[in-house]
Amino acid sequence: MSAEATNPVSAAEAAATDPRVRRRARARLDLRRIGRAALLGATAGPAPRDRLPDAISHVAEAHRAHHPEADLTVLRRAYVLAESSHRGQFRKSGEPYITHPLAVTLILAELGAETTTLTASLLHDTVEDTEVTLDQVRREFGDEVAYLVDGVTKVEKIDYGAAAEPETFRKMLVATGDDVRVMSIKLADRLHNMRTLGVMRPEKQARIAKVTRDVLIPLAERLGVQALKTELEDLVFAILHPEEYEATRALIAEATGSGSPDALAAVAERVGTVLREADIAAEVLVRPRHFVSVHRVRLKRGELRGCDFGRLLVLVAEDADCYAVLGELHTCFTPLISEFKDFIAAPKFNLYQSLHTAIAAPDGAVAEVLIRTHRMHKVAEAGVVALGSPLGPAPDGADPSETAEDGERTDPTRPGWLARLLDWQESAPDPDTFWSSLRADLAEDHEITVFRADGGTLGLPAGSTCVDAAYAQHGAAAHTCLGARVNGRLAPLGTVLSDGDTVQLLLAQDAGSGPSPEWLDHARTPAARIAITAWLQAHPEAAAPPAAAPRPPLSVAADRRSGAELHADLDGAPATPVRPAGCCTPVPPDAITGFRVRGGAVTAHRTGCPAVDVMRRLGRAAVPVRWGDAAHCRVTLVAESFGRPGLLADLTEAIATAGAEVVSATVEPPSEQRVRHTYTLQLADAAALPALMRAMREVPGVYDVARTHRL
């Protein structure tokens, strides 16, 4: 937690590009004064009880801006403890160490974090780096602060080489538990370390920047903390891509310092006029793009125009006003419909809500516009930090009725993706597997919701399949999954799910069955892949590679005795042998039609058999045939099922119990976990056929039984 760096964006450059960065730049300049104040504090003694120490006054000011009624007494006590315990410790830059927890706390205060989070942030290094104990923190500040400090303390210093990174972030997820405020403090801690990374060796800067890019920035995105994410992106961009960074910096400097009229400001003025004339109370702001955003736009569009260096932000009071603004803009300007996105009706997985559109001004300039309420804007910038404590009262604007069964407010900062991470990290066999799975999961920037058959919902990353849904819903019990119904229709386990699909998962009764290696080709989520891999490693016989040649069908042959008696009505002809056609295997009381075949015999087809139409198109004359008095019959049935151990034995047992005799049986090799069984059966009574087919369908894994219809 003590990494150092100079910010690649100078204060002057930041002030020229982004007002938010100007505020951060002033805060960083204040830290030098804080360092001097901390040094003087060693001789000047503690601050009077009736006011906060000067070194933390800027934190108190930022905190009161978001929480005017906040009790600052606890912050003062936390600062006094942190300053006294860190006294004599210095960062590699030479600043007193207390400047680090102060800077981290200031970042969180500017984002609107509540008092408990700020208190824990001031103390987040004390238990790890000083003589202060966790019990002491608990006695002086309570269980909640102690829980947060303990969570951050469990995230060890990232100073042990690249091999330590996976285990470090695994511990971070474990420490997070049910309270993402731990992760928020960690993100602010990393931001300050990235700001002051310049004193490190270049190779260490690159290593920390890569981990920040691969894990911390996606985490910030998942938590919705855009203010942290954008600055982290710029800092990483400057370290890992210095040439592209310099080129982007030059473009921004040229665009902001050329003295030419600001095209985006002109569009903003026209937009403001349109909204005032429509009597819509709105605040129209020019929102400059950060460095990485400008770089991405340049790669996408090539040469940049004036409006490409920023976007318009329209802030209103109510949700309905957002759509009113959208209507006015699309009426008075030319909209680019392809750029429209509604994240209010369908919020993103990280709680982000906003309307996105783009409009063309009369001079041809195209401006991107973000439309949101003030509340949406606060959540968009600060994400979960703006939502406050999951254990305390709901923040302003939240629904106080949203409470859990135990009386606590439902935690909106515990989205489905975090619950999944916390679940599957326990099953990861080693840090490397966890690391690769974590990066893959964080790379997914879209989440879908599918409905379970029991009415519940599952949150899954986009691209998830039925395999992923099975493990998300049933955990280890999904090993016995035989198949699924998607929107009421049978579907292979590899079916990719879409947002809003309804999924019914079919599980086998045999707890000993398990997944096949092919499931890994369909698994997208770490939970599914880790569980399948672990089962296959524990059952190596199931993971054996298939034989080089396809497996021939399994055939069980019996005699070719005739079935029910059939007679052909041929005038003046001797008794003609009649047999049921093998393509449709008619049985009494099926309506039948006969056709002559070689040797003078007649085959009887069911009237609806496709072969009947073929015969007639060929000009073959139909021969009248009828059933005799004998009730016994022979029939061919096809059973479609999902593969599982013991299925053949269960099916033949059901056939025998129904009183049928197997004449022949063919089992085709499995395809996508599906198995096709074909049985030719002899029945003592044709009337027993419907009951036989029902008995076969009731065998677990069998989803369809039908008479043959093959040419």
CA dihedral angle for residue 576, residue 580, residue 581, residue 584, rounded to 10 degrees = 150
Taking every pair of C-alpha atoms in the chain, what is the biggest distance, in angstroms? 130
CB contact at 8 A, 679 and 636: yes
Q: State residue 231 phi and psi, 5-degree precision.
A: -70, -40
159, two tokens: 């100073």
CB contact at 8 A, 469 and 458: yes
- The whole-angstrom separation of Cα 81 and Cα 140 is 10
Place of tokens 């964006």: 9
DSSP lists the bridge partners of residue 579 as 603
> Percent helix, strand, coil in the chain (nearest 5)?
50, 15, 35
- The whole-angstrom separation of Cα 599 and Cα 247 is 88
CB contact at 8 A, 646 and 511: no
Q: State residue 406 phi and psi, 5-degree precision.
A: -85, 10
SS3 assignment, position 336: coil
SS3 assignment, position 160: coil
- The whole-angstrom separation of Cα 420 and Cα 648 is 37
668 among known catalytic residues: no
CB atoms near residue 57 (< 10 Å): 16
Q: State residue 634 phi and psi, 5-degree precision.
A: -120, 135
SS3 assignment, position 110: helix
- The whole-angstrom separation of Cα 709 and Cα 480 is 32
Q: Which of 4, 13, 110, 129 is catalytic?
A: 129
CA dihedral angle for residue 560, residue 562, residue 564, residue 568, rounded to 10 degrees = 140
CB atoms near residue 487 (< 10 Å): 14
Q: Which of 54, 128, 518, 668 is catalytic?
A: 128
DSSP symbols for 277-335? HTT---EEEEEE--HHHHHHHHHHHSS--GGGGEEEEEEESSHHHHHHHHHHHHHHSEE
User: HEC states along 195-260?
Assistant: HCHHHCCHHHHHHHHHHHHHHHHHHHHHCCCHHHHHHHHHHHHHHHCHHHHHHHHHHHHHHHHCCC
CB contact at 8 A, 666 and 638: no
Q: How far is CA 313 from the centre of its chain?
A: 28
Residue of 370, 346, 348, 347 lying closest to 358 (CA atoms): 370
Residue of 199, 211, 190, 19 lying closest to 108 (CA atoms): 190
Cα–Cα distance list, 266 to 16, 134, 614 (Å): 18, 56, 75
129 among known catalytic residues: yes
- The whole-angstrom separation of Cα 225 and Cα 443 is 16
CB atoms near residue 69 (< 10 Å): 5
Contacts of 157 (CB under 8 A, 6+ apart): 1, 2, 128
- Sheet with 578-580, strands from edge to edge, namely 578-580, 602-606, 592-596, 622-623
508, two tokens: 């086998």
CB atoms near residue 91 (< 10 Å): 18
Annotated active-site positions, please?
128-129
